[in-house]
Structure 1
Amino acid sequence: MVEVDDLAATTHVKSELERFLVAKMTHGEGDANNPLLWWKIHERDFPTVAKIAWDFLAIPGTSVSSRHFCAELRSSLKAKTIMQALLTKVWIKAGLLKI
């Protein structure tokens, strides 16, 4: 059974996500070359989405494609699966996801 607090939190996050998606139209796409600055300006407007964005923006860039990097590890987990698991763990610890 869903608790009232869980339902309220889910509704709040959904509302925030909807506001973020609408904001792309009103605030513009932002500077594609500087997403860190955009999130620094707007993180108070969208705190939950900002936490998720910071997780993705913290991933270091590389000149090696993920396919090439993971070619030797084909028998183990895919890079996408590892990334999903790590981000899910971070989001659960931050209280953004409940299991």
Structure 2
Amino acid sequence: MRQEIRDIINRAIDSQETLLPAAVDRSAGDATPIFGEGAPFDSMGLVSLIVQIEEMVESETGTAITLVSEKAMSAHRSPFATISSLGEFIESLLLEDARV
């Protein structure tokens, strides 16, 4: 599941790159920044990326998730900081849903 989630995130970034001033440098792999200081997405770009990822996750896994939540906003480290942190957050949401 982990690689499937990373693929979704990367495909969503690919489709959003046309709206950015420059391509996202993913040379850091899963440590690639998404949002925050020095990251490619501003708040509006992040909203578009989140909506696309939520739609792709539901389409490809059959599970609807909500990335913007109290859990995300109260996290010590933002789940939107890097590809890895976002992937881990999505995976935790999918695992929670499987347990319900």
Same fold (TM over 0.5): no
TM-score, normalisation: structure 2: 0.29
Give the structure, 1 or 2, with the largest relative contact order (CA under 8 Å, sep 6 or more): 2
